[in-house]
Amino acid sequence: MASTEQLISPTEGPVTDSGRIESIDVLRGFALLGILVMNIQGFSMIGAAYLNPAAYGDLSGANWWVWVLSHLFADQKFMTLFSVLFGAGIVMMWERAEATGRKSTGLHYRRTLWLLVFGLVHAYLLWSGDILFLYAICASWVYWLRRASPKVLTIVGSLVLMVSPVLYLAAGSTMPSWPTQDLIALTESWAPGHEAVTREVGNFQGSWGQQMESRVQLARGLQLEALPFWGFWRASGLMLLGMALFKVGFLRAGLSDGLYRRLLLGGLVFGLPLIAFGIQQNFAADWDVSRFFLGSLYNYFGSLPVSLAYASAIMLMCRRGTWVFLQRSFAAVGRMALTNYFAQTIICTTIFYGHGLGYFGEVDRVGQIIIVLGVWLFQIPFSLWWLERFLFGPFEWLWRSLSYLKFQPMRR
């Protein structure tokens, strides 16, 4: 467990090695590597295939197993961990600023503004599946609850999390009365026809300029439709819960081994069967668009206890000092999470988009997982190598320098 001196460094400026919390770095690295299991689908296949696996690509044999296991163990789980950690980071930054007698509000909003800029550039110029824009929007308001007690944060966070399911249930129950053009639009986005699929594949197999048509359309859809309907409530609620978990010591590996073990077991026992039932229901309905709203709620709720189980496992590992090399590897990746997030985009778009190798739409799900493993085998040793020589990853250094309005030290 981190001491007070380790938790809040008495010096000004961003957190350095002596002020870091190892368990949070380890969990962040685990989440960063894990999220590529889902993001690889967004890099390599049409947008509709992310939510509807029947919309594109082979879904039989080993490819079926890859999708099922990815949905069961990865879909929304790592996004959940990232959101929780982002909320914890807000409290960490505030506490550290308060301890040094500095005001944290200006720093927070500079960090958030630059994150927003990074997200927009990432989404519209590189990859439409960006999450940074969403986090910047949510961070702009959850910050004002930083002083709240863990109890208040848990209650408010849970209520915010429930908004999206209510919206989904309302939309699903009223579908029969929707205007015809709205039903057609939803159906075409859920299961696009041959012409739309051919156009999207052709765009991403083309030059960077050709990609813009599909990339801008997908990015706008996420920011103007998915964000207010799903992402804003999900990420905001999880950030608030992350603030609570940090305050009670959960994310600092400060609770008992027995409690972490119970949360690990309980999270898997309650979460995985619910997600598995949702998978069965969606396949039984042949992934009909009428199942879109209700069918997504199984994983929405099931992913929460599973994510808690993952976090508990990491906390147990950190408390017990086991799997030391794995901890060290995850921590290095986590300390360079922003750099590694962008690196995953650069690597994968180079593989799949037309300005690189142009394999978009041509790699099945088994091949996608092989590529994920290859990226992991690169990012872990690279992160370890880099941090032996530098204090921050290059994008972490840039973000900190912009946020603190002065160049930060880089070399060790």
Q: Please report the pLDDT score of residue 5 as a whole number.
A: 29
d(CA 176, CA 171): 10
Alpha carbons 156 and 143: distance in angstroms, whole number = 13
To the nearest whole percent, how much of the chain has pLDDT over 70? Answer: 95
**4, pLDDT greater than 50:** no
Q: What is the pLDDT of residues 354-377, one digit of tens each?
A: 999 999 999 999 999 999 999 999
Domain spans of the chain?
Answer: 4-404
pLDDT tops 90 at residue 197: yes
pTM of the model: 0.94
More confident residue, 145 or 294: 145
More confident residue, 353 or 101: 353
Q: How many angstroms separate the CA atoms of 237 and 356, rounded?
A: 38
Query: Is the CA virtual torsion 398, 404, 406, 411 positive or negative?
Result: negative
Residue type for 281, please? Q
Per-residue pLDDT band for 19 (boundaries 50, 70, 90) equals: low
Predicted local confidence at residue 101, as pLDDT: 83
Assign 103 a pLDDT band (cuts: 50, 70, 90). Answer: confident
Q: Which residue would you say has higher pLDDT here, 98 or 11?
A: 98
Residue 29 confidence (pLDDT) above 90: yes
Please report the pLDDT score of residue 7 as a whole number.
30
Token digits of residue 159: 């209520």
Q: Tokens standing for 259? A: 């409690």
**What is residue 8's predicted lDDT score, i.e. its pLDDT?**
29
Alpha helices in 122-193 (DSSP H): 132-142, 150-173, 180-190
For residue 18, the model assigns a pLDDT of: 52
What local confidence, expressed as pLDDT, does residue 292 receive? 84
- pLDDT digits 0-9 by tens, 208-260: 999 999 999 999 999 999 999 999 999 999 999 999 999 999 999 999 999 99
What average pLDDT does this structure show over 381-390?
A: 98
**Tens digit of each residue's pLDDT (9 = 90 or more) over 326-359:** 999 999 999 999 999 999 999 999 999 999 999 9
What mean pLDDT do residues 181-201 have?
Answer: 95
pLDDT, one tens digit per residue, over 249-300 is 999 999 999 999 999 999 999 999 999 999 999 999 999 998 888 999 999 9
Predicted pLDDT at 6: 31
Q: What is the mean pLDDT of residues 183-189?
A: 92
Tell me the average pLDDT of the chain.
94
Per-residue pLDDT reduced to its tens digit, 33-81: 999 999 999 999 999 999 999 999 999 999 999 999 999 999 999 999 9
At CB < 8 A and 24+ separation, what contacts does 109-114 make? 109/140, 110/402, 110/403, 110/405, 111/399, 111/403, 112/136, 112/139, 112/140, 112/143, 114/399, 114/402, 114/403
242 within 8 A of 398, measured Cβ to Cβ: no
The two most distant CA atoms of the chain are separated, in Å, by: 63
Nearest to 233 by CA among 324, 168, 320, 311: 168
Give the model's pLDDT for residue 290.
84
